[in-house]
Amino acid sequence: MKAVKIKDSEYEIKKGKILKAKMLTTMEKYFEIALPGGESLDHEPGQFVEVSILGIGEAPISISSSPTKRGSFELVVRNAGKLSGALHKLEAGDEVGIRGPFGKGFPVRILEGNDLLFVAAGLGVVPLRSLINFVIDNRRDFGKVNILLGCRTPQNMLFNDELEQWGKRLDVNFNCTVDKADPDWKGNVGLITTLIPGINLEPERTFAVVVGPPIMYKFVIVELLKKQIPERQILVSLERHMKCGLGKCGHCQINNMYCCQDGPVFTYDKIKGIPEAL
């Protein structure tokens, strides 16, 4: 069979140049990437890209930077598979392939004018950061902002400098907790769910945005519902293996939905009846 070049293939990649690369923890590496000619990625907070190293493969990775950051975008990758392992070997100056952005991100237009409660556990802070920084950069468009962060140990904490900045701001309430403290830790100890009851909020005008590992959603959502936050005002971002990003390959399917096209961001009222979602 003959192979013929085609234009406009959805599989075409753009060259992404790594501007900066650094380890955030022992497991997670940060990359700042620019497209050729400074072209904008033009993404919404919460969307993802497919990152390639040709010859090794491609994997879906959430965008961690806000679209308000121009000229480049940021990813944080945990060393957990073949592609991510190879990504960890790359440094500034190296190239990766980029497709996307893909998926439905956080509905920023709908969030405008409302109070926001961000809840992130573990790596959940990576995609959520795209929205948090977007909100901070457009601070006057939003109401009260609460940020709750949880992770296993202080060593797992990502973006320490930035968290400190969020903590210092008067227009943001920031609180974090670790499951297991070390002697230097002076903050909260306990699961992220323990931080929710103490938050003061007006449920009818609050959107809760929750991102974390699968197990965390059930417990956090129970707490949010106790706070009377309406189901359609609870947003989650689900993790699946979005292989093609085009709603075809089937890997990310959640019952009748494709996570890569219909998600990864969903409102809780949309998925609460979907058995495979949470």
Partner 1 sequence: MAKPKVAFFDFACCEGCQLQIANIGELLLDVLGLIDVVEFREVMSEKGPDKIDVAIVEGSITDKHAIERIKKIRERASVLIAYGACACTGGVNGMKNNFKLEDIRKEVYGDRFNYFDTVETKAVHQVVKVDYFVNGCPVYIPEFVKVLKCALQGLPYEVPDQSVCTECKLNENVCMYERGVTCLGPVTKAGCNSWCINNGNICYGCRGMVSNPNEKGAQDVIKKYNVPMDLVMNKMNMYNKCRENDKK
Partner 2 sequence: MLHNLEQYVVLAKSDFDHFIVALAREQKVFAPVAKDFGQFSFEQVTEGRQVALKYIPTILPPKKYFMPQYETLATFDTSTGQNMEPVVEYEKMVLLGVHTCDLAGIQCLNMVFNERPKDLNYLIRKNKITIIGYECNDYCDKYASCRLVHNHTPNGGYDLFFTDISTDKFIVHVNTLAGEEIIEKANVFEPASEADLKALEKLRTEKRAIFAKNEVPIEHERISELFDKAYSSKVWEELAEKCLACGNCTNVCPSCYCFDVIDEPNLDLKTGKRYRKWDSCQNETFAKVAGGESFREERGARQRHRYYRKFKYPLDKFSRFFCTGCGRCSRTCMAGINLKETLSKLIDEQGMKNPNAGEVKLG
Q: Are 105 and 265 in contact (CB under 8 A)?
A: yes
Q: Are 237 and 252 in contact (CB under 8 A)?
A: no
Applying CB under 8 A, the span of 22-30, 89-97, 110-118, 179-187 interacting with partner 2 comes to: 89-97
Among 38, 183, 198, 275, binds partner 2 (CB under 8 A): 275
85 binds, among partner 2, partner 1, none (CB under 5 to 8 A by kind): partner 1
Residue 173, C-beta contacts closer than 8 angstroms, at least 6 positions apart: 144, 145, 146, 147, 199
Query: Got the DSSP string for 128-189?
Result: HHHHHHHHHHTGGGS--EEEEEEESSGGG---HHHHHHHHH-TTSEEEEEESS--TT--SEE
Please state, in angstroms and rounded to a whole number, the distance separating the CA atoms of residues 32 and 30. 7
Among 15, 22, 70, 82, binds partner 1 (CB under 8 A): 82
Among 28, 74, 115, 239, binds partner 2 (CB under 8 A): 239
Q: Does 250 bind partner 2 (CB under 8 A)?
A: yes
Q: Does 198 bind partner 1 (CB under 8 A)?
A: no
Applying CB under 8 A, the span of 52-60, 169-177, 203-211, 222-230 interacting with partner 2 comes to: 52-60
For partner 1, the closer of residues 55 and 273 by Cβ is 55
Among 27, 86, 225, 249, binds partner 1 (CB under 8 A): 86
R_g over Cα of the chain: 19
Q: Does 55 bind partner 1 (CB under 8 A)?
A: yes
Sign of dihedral through CA atoms 160, 121, 92, 136? negative
Hey, what amino acid is at 265? Answer: V
Applying CB under 8 A, the span of 81-89, 122-130, 159-167, 181-189 interacting with partner 1 comes to: 81-89
Applying CB under 8 A, the span of 9-17, 23-31, 78-86, 242-250 interacting with partner 1 comes to: 78-86
76 is in an annotated binding site: yes
Residue list for the binding site for FAD: 76-78
